[in-house]
C-alpha cells in the first residue's frame, strides 16, 4: 500500500470518527433542547398559575375592602343613631 493510500485511509477514519462525534454531540444537544423546552412549558404554566392566583387575591382583597367600608359606614350610622337617641333622651 502506498503512502498516498495510507493517507487516504487515515483521513477517511478521521472523518468517520468526527462524523460519529458530531452525531453524538447533535443527539446530546437535541436532548438538552427538549429538556429546556419541557422546563420552559412547565415554567410558563407556573407563571400563568401565579398570575391567576394573584388576580384572585386582588379580587378578594377588593371585596374585603368593600365589605370593610360598608361595615364602617354601618357602624358610623349606628353611632350617629345612638347619639341622636341620647340627645332626645337628654332633651326630654
Residues 16-71: tens digit of each pLDDT: 999 999 999 999 999 999 999 999 999 999 999 999 999 999 999 999 999 999 99
Q: What is the pTM of this model?
A: 0.61
Round to whole Å and give the CA distance between 83 and 79: 6
Cα(5)–Cα(21) distance, integer angstroms: 24
Rounded CA-CA distance 22/61 in Å is 57
Q: What is the C-alpha end-to-end distance of the chain, expressed in Å? A: 133
Contacts of 73 (CB under 8 A, 6+ apart): none
Cell of residue 85, nine digits? 337617641
Amino acid at each position: 500500500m502506498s503512502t498516498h493510500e495510507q493517507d487516504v485511509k487515515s483521513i477517511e477514519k478521521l472523518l468517520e470518527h468526527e462524523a460519529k462525534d458530531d452525531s453524538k454531540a447533535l443527539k446530546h444537544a437535541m436532548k438538552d433542547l427538549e429538556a429546556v423546552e419541557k422546563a420552559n412549558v412547565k415554567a410558563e404554566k407556573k407563571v400563568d398559575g401565579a398570575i391567576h392566583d394573584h388576580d384572585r387575591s386582588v379580587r378578594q382583597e377588593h371585596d374585603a375592602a368593600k365589605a370593610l367600608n360598608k361595615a364602617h359606614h354601618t357602624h358610623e350610622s349606628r353611632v350617629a343613631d345612638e347619639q341622636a337617641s341620647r340627645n332626645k333622651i337628654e332633651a326630654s
